[in-house]
Copies of this chain bind each other. A is one copy, B any other.
Amino acid sequence: MIVDYTRFYAGRRVLVTGGLGFIGSTVARQLVALDADVHIVDALLPECGGNPFNIDGVEGRIRVSHADLRDRAAMHALVRDCDVIFNLAGQVSHIDSMRDPYADLEVNCLSHLTLLEACRHVNPHAKVVYAGTRQIYGRPDSLPVDESHLVRPTDVNGINKAAGEQYHLVYNNVFGIRACSLRLTNIYGPRQLIRHNRQGFIGWFIRLALENKTIQIYGDGSQLRDFVHVDDVADAFLRAGTSDACNGQVFNVGGPEPISHRDLTTMLIEAAGSGQVAYIEWPTEKKAIDIGSFYADSSRFRQATGWTPSIGLREGLASTLAFYRAHFDRYVNVAAQERA
């Protein structure tokens, strides 16, 4: 049975970890629109995606706690009364994970263990939806990739994200904490970090196009990816949060259809009316960890929850560009602003 999630959240106590980040803030904003009692926890770790401006306009309707998920006492207090937890805190840069694997382990494994231990001890009835990632599949054996594909991460970040996901499933199976994971493909849209290029290339390409700079594509740009708009992703989280059929399960959440880097860049530059593209040789060290084409089969999640991505890429890119044009300074020179 599919619950009407647009009514489910009214008055519910919902915790969003990493709630000042890209996806977390989008989930929080949708929850506000559904009259949920929204509580964000975000440590605003440097280099991660947290940005207080992401809840601009709704800050009066959201409680925000600046706490670290690794803080056991804080987590006990935060999860105590929650009905639903959207667990979006994390470090997503594979480059950073290879530079400092210890930090990645803390943020992507220890944090989630701490959250789940808190649920186990003070709120085993919570429902938890974890933000997984397609990264854990590594280089696909065949396309599209469904959930029966081997997990074979190519970097420390992927390994730790996979472990983080598995903790949720084990706590579901052993301790009865209702948990599931959504394995997200490439997400784009407003409120993504575009200060640096280590959190997904799509946000970075959008920034380069807006600044009328050159987007560099490795190789011939024939690689395929599927892109999902962040509003559709937030919708997926809200659906998973109401569905006990999802408990103990993992689901791919991917875009409507795959597109090549070449076609994506052409579409982006057209939509922006600025930017150029240059095709360059693969740097050796990048080629070594390249996974080739990837796109997900999300039919399992569609069947379980009725979800379907509703925003086409052309339309989604246009509104994303408009958002960043209106708020460019809030996303680019953030550190400089904060120092000022």
Q: Is A258 an interface residue (CB 8 A)?
A: no
**Cβ of A84 < 8 Å from any Cβ of B?**
no
Nearest opposing residue in chain B for A100, CB measure: B117
Binary B-proximity of A162-191 (CB < 8 A = 1, otherwise 0): 110011001001100000000000000000
| Stretch from A58-66, A105-113, A123-131, A207-215 forming part of the interface with B | A105-113
Stretch in A8-16, A146-154, A194-202 with 4+ CB within 8 Å of B: A146-154
Query: With the chains together, A174 CA to B166 CA distance in Å?
Result: 24
Contact B153–A151 (Cβ < 8 Å) = no
**Contact residue among B113, B153, B159 (Cβ-Cβ distance under 8 Å from A102):** B113
Task: Determine if A174 and B289 form an interchain contact, defined as CB atoms under 8 angstroms apart.
Answer: yes
> Please, which residues of chain B bring their CB within 8 A of the CB of A160?
163
Q: For A154, what are the chain B residues with a Cβ–Cβ distance below 8 Å?
A: 170, 173-174
User: A105 and B110: CB pair below 8 A?
Assistant: yes
A155 at the interface (CB under 8 A from B): yes
Per the bound structure, the CA–CA distance linking A151 and B153 in Å amounts to 12
Using known A-B contacts A163-B163, A170-B156, determine if residue A105 contacts B109 with beta carbons closer than 8 Å: yes
How far, in whole Å, are A101 and B163 apart by their CA atoms in the complex? 12
What residues of chain B lie closer than 8 Å to A151, measured between beta carbons?
150-151
Does A335 sit at the interface, judged by CB under 8 A?
no
Q: What residues on B are CB-neighbors of A3 within 8 Å?
A: none
* A98 in the interface (beta carbon within 8 A): yes
C-alpha gap A142/B102 in the complex (Å): 36
Choose one: B101, B153, B166; the contact of A153 (CB below 8 Å): B166
B167 and A156 contacting across the interface, CB-CB below 8 Å: yes
- A98–B117 Cα gap in the complex (Å)? 10
Instruction: Kindly provide the distance from the CB of A290 to the nearest chain B CB, expressed in whole angstroms.
Output: 11
Least distance between A103 CB and chain B CB atoms (Å): 11
- Contact among B109, B148, B155 for A109, CB-based, below 8 A: B109
User: Can you offer 19 A-B residue contacts whose CB atoms are under 8 A?
Assistant: A101-B113, A101-B117, A105-B109, A109-B109, A113-B156, A148-B150, A151-B151, A152-B166, A153-B166, A154-B170, A154-B173, A154-B174, A156-B167, A160-B163, A162-B162, A162-B163, A173-B288, A173-B289, A174-B288
The 3 residue pairs across chains A and B that have the minimum distance between CB atoms: A159-B166, A163-B163, A101-B113
Given contacts A98-B174, A162-B166, 4 further A-B contacts (CB under 8 A): A105-B109, A113-B156, A159-B163, A159-B166
